[in-house]
């Protein structure tokens, strides 16, 4: 009862922050789209001038603005960026062409993520695959090899982002049987994307695509996957079986507060305040820091700094006994310890 009251009290506290401000949303969109367009134009001019190294350098800040564009799309997916559902949907669809992410497909799978995050019996779409120690024990050697390969940092943060954003999202992955709407979203995004890329090649040549757009999108994809990973994959995160799983508890205990420097907070749309976002996804990203100002105690919930977050990459298995994520190395040490003698 006390836990239910605390959850209700937190939800009530967050309600005043849920209303988007039209002028602020428009300004945030302009502040993100305009620099990205300028950086890509500068990169194209650098390629035309034969300064390929400069175009690669320009792709770094461009990637950061692509990430921020995705954060705006993310809010549109939750219909928290504008009051109008129509505005959220169409701004999200347009941005989805830039981010290689079919908006309506992503909105559906991301909704599943919010509804099942931390539920051991509903590990569905929109999550980093995580298995428990008991499940790992029961795997065949080949299955263990596959899981170890999947959780390898090179696969997760280099190969994985390429696969997800460049290949997997060209079709409505995971929701192919949900009717025609997901296919329209995916194929419509593909048609617009390939038309724009074709025009870019026609105007600036293939070199501009190879030296400006491709490294920008690859780096942005890697950053995006890392952010998503560290938001839920930390040592004292939350996983529970369906009969004890609870939405607000999963949000608060299973989502981190990735406390980044101010510039990175702005570029990532405050997505590091992820515990609050999971409790109330209707709060636009530019109000998430206000929540922490009005309730400073929330700052220290699952707080991770940049250096601390690096260690999260080694955490791979959920140990139900200790209720924490552990590494393969920790698992090996556990298995090598002598079992207690029985009477």
Tens digit of each residue's pLDDT, the chain (343 residues): 456 666 788 889 999 999 999 999 999 999 999 999 999 999 999 999 999 999 999 999 999 999 999 999 999 999 999 999 999 999 999 999 999 999 999 999 999 999 999 999 988 777 899 999 999 999 999 999 999 999 999 999 999 999 999 999 999 998 999 999 999 999 999 999 999 999 988 887 788 899 999 999 999 999 999 999 999 999 999 999 999 999 999 999 999 999 999 999 999 999 999 999 999 999 999 999 999 999 999 999 999 999 999 999 999 999 999 999 999 999 999 888 777 655 4
> Helix, strand or coil for residue 120?
coil
**From CA 311, how far away is CA 236, in angstroms rounded?**
13
The answer to whether 131 and 147 have CB atoms below 8 angstroms apart is yes
User: Among positive and negative, which fits the CA dihedral 324, 325, 327, 331?
Assistant: positive
Q: Among all chains, which residue has been given the structure tokens 């770094």? A: 60
Which residues in 190-202 are b (16+ Cβ under 10 Å) and which e? beebeeeeeebee
E strands of the chain, at which residues? 131-132, 257-258, 303-304, 315-319, 324-327
**From CA 122, how far away is CA 56, in angstroms rounded?**
41
The domain segmentation of the chain, as residue ranges, is 2-336
DSSP code of residue 170: G
**Predicted model pTM:** 0.93
| Total number of residues shown for the chain | 343
């Amino acid at each position: 009862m006390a836990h239910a009251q605390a959850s209700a009290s937190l939800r009530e506290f967050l309600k005043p922050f849920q209303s988007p401000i039209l002028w602020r949303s428009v300004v945030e969109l302009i502040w993100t789209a305009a620099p990205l367009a300028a950086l890509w134009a500068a990169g194209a001019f650098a390629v035309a001038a034969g300064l390929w190294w400069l175009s690669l350098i320009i792709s770094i800040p461009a990637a950061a603005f692509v990430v921020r564009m995705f954060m705006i799309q993310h809010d549109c997916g939750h219909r928290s960026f504008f009051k109008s559902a129509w505005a959220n949907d169409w701004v999200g669809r347009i941005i989805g062409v830039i981010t290689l992410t079919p908006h309506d497909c992503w909105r559906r799978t991301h909704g599943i993520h919010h509804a099942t995050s931390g539920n051991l019996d509903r590990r569905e779409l929109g999550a980093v695959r995580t298995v428990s120690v008991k499940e790992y024990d029961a795997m065949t050697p080949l299955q263990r090899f596959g899981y170890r390969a999947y959780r390898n940092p090179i696969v997760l943060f280099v190969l994985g982002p390429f696969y997800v954003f460049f290949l997997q999202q060209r079709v409505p992955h995971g929701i192919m049987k949900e009717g025609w709407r997901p296919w329209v979203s995916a194929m419509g995004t593909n048609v617009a994307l390939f038309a724009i890329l074709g025009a870019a090649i026609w105007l600036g040549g293939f070199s501009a695509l190879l030296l400006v757009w491709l490294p920008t999108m690859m780096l942005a994809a890697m950053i995006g996957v890392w952010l998503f990973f560290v938001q839920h994959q930390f040592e004292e995160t939350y996983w529970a079986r369906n009969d004890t799983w609870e939405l607000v508890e999963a949000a608060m205990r299973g989502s981190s507060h990735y406390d980044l420097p101010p510039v990175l907070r702005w570029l990532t749309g405050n997505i590091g305040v992820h515990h609050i976002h999971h409790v109330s996804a209707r709060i636009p990203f530019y109000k998430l820091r206000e929540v922490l100002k009005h309730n400073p105690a929330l700052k220290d919930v699952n707080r991770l700094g940049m250096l601390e977050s690096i260690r999260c990459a080694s955490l791979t298995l959920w140990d139900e006994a200790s209720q924490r994520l552990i590494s393969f190395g920790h698992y090996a040490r556990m298995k090598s310890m002598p079992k207690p003698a029985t009477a």
